[in-house]
Amino acid sequence: MSYLEYMLKNFVSSIVCIVAFIACAPKMSLADREKAHSEHIEQLKEGALRIEINTAYPFQTNAVNQVSNVIWQFTGNTANRVIVSGSGDFIEIKNDTLHGDLSYIGERQISSPYSSTDIGIRFNSVPREFEIIEDSHHKFIELVANISDRIENYDIRIRLYPTGNASAYINSSLRTPIRYDGIIVKSNDSESTEKS
């Protein structure tokens, strides 16, 4: 058997395995998606929704990316994807208040007063603007909010997916944007206290 035949045989075998793996992946039925969509709407109405964050996706300049990749070389993280599960990061909607305590990995755009212990993104207030958008075709819910604390303004976009996952996109007036991914839980299922 020639080298070319050997490589072709291995390539075809690999393709067959990949196709079989993808075909066996569990799919969410339309009924399950609609049920999850309804549950998320109900959680929003009850004012009891919490997203436990597990991954952060910072948007940084090329220079910072190069340095970050060297620092995180053997940790499983990269400059563009940092695992934060176990750090207690969350976003919570309780009644009309949006509460979040998130690790921040990124760059400050404008120098502003802040303490060395308060470098994360923290908010706990009623948004100035709040809108719920339902995408009936893709069955996700998007929450759009604008929050201000004493120094910083945040434009927040949260997408709730029927799979139980969520993504939060946060643009700050003082920092580079960042995206967080996490899982949706009922607010009372989890502690709603700030992390220490």
In-domain check, residue 169: yes
Residue 34: strand, helix, or coil = helix
In-domain check, residue 53: yes
| Number of domains forming the structure of the chain | 1
pLDDT in tens, 171-187: 998 888 999 999 998 77
In-domain check, residue 8: no
How much is the pTM? 0.75
In-domain check, residue 69: yes
The CATH number covering residue 117 comes to 2.40.128.410
Per-residue pLDDT of the chain (196 residues; tens, 9 = 90+): 677 676 666 666 677 666 655 555 556 666 676 777 677 777 776 778 899 999 999 888 888 778 877 877 777 788 888 889 888 999 998 888 899 999 988 877 776 565 555 678 999 999 999 888 888 777 788 999 999 877 889 999 999 988 889 999 999 988 889 999 999 987 765 454 455 4
Give me the pLDDT at residue 96, please.
84
Give me the pLDDT at residue 137, please.
75
Give me the pLDDT at residue 188, please.
62
In-domain check, residue 178: yes
Spatial contact of 158 and 102, defined as CB atoms under 8 Å apart: no
In-domain check, residue 21: no
Q: Sort 64 into a burial class: Cβ within 10 Å, 0-12 / 13-18 / 19+.
A: middle
Euclidean distance between CA atoms 174 and 110, whole angstroms: 5
In-domain check, residue 150: yes
Alpha-carbon distances, residue 21 vs 7, 18, 27, 29, 121 (angstroms): 21, 5, 13, 19, 39
- Structural domain containing residue 145: 29-189
Give me the pLDDT at residue 190, please.
47
In-domain check, residue 116: yes
Average pLDDT score, the chain: 79
